[in-house]
Amino acid sequence: MERYKFGAITLKALRERGVHVAVDDFGMGFSSLSFLQKFPLDVLKIDQSFIRQITATPFDTSIVSTIISLGQSLKLRVIAEGVESAQDLAFLRALDCDEAQGFYFSHPVTATKFAELHRMQTN
C-alpha cells in the first residue's frame, strides 16, 4: 500500500488543478481493479481488445458490460477504445457507454489536420 501513496498524492494534486486522470487500456497489462481503489480517477478507458469482439463473443460482451457498469457505479466516465463499426457503436450506446473512439470515427491524423478539422467544426 505504501508504494502507491506517492502516486495517489501526486494524482490528487493534479486533479485539484483541473487535470483529469484516466486508466488507459483497462483490463490489460498493469491496469487492475486495485487502481480503482488506490488512485483518484476520472476516466476508465476499455481496452480495444475487448471491443473488437463485443457483438460476436459472449465473453467479451460480458466483460465490456461489466466494465461499463463498474465505471459508472464509481462515477467514472467510461470510454470504449477501438470502435470500428456502426454495430459496435450501437451496442455500446445500448450499454450507456459514455464515449467511444476508434477507426469508425477517424483514422489517426496529424496535429495540423486535427486543427483543420476542428476549425471546420467550429465555424
Tens digits of residue pLDDT in 34-93: 777 777 889 999 989 889 888 888 888 998 999 999 999 999 999 999 999 999 999 999
Q: Is the pLDDT of residue 25 over 80?
A: no
Residues 6+ apart with CB under 8 A from 96: 68, 72
Mapping DSSP to helix (H, G, I), strand (E, B) and coil, where does residue 78 land?
A: strand
Q: Which three cell numbers stand for residue 93?
A: 450506446
The yes-or-no answer on residue 81 being catalytic is yes
Confidence (pLDDT) at 78: 96
Q: Catalytic one among 2, 16, 81, 84?
A: 81
Q: How many helices (H) and strands (E) are present in the chain, helices listed first?
A: 6, 4
Mean pLDDT of 20-38: 70
pLDDT given for residue 22 in this prediction: 76
Does the pLDDT value for residue 19 go beyond 90? no
The total domain count for the chain is: 1
For residue 31, the enclosing domain spans 2-122
Task: Share the mean pLDDT of the chain.
Answer: 86
Domain holding 21: CATH number?
Answer: 3.20.20.450
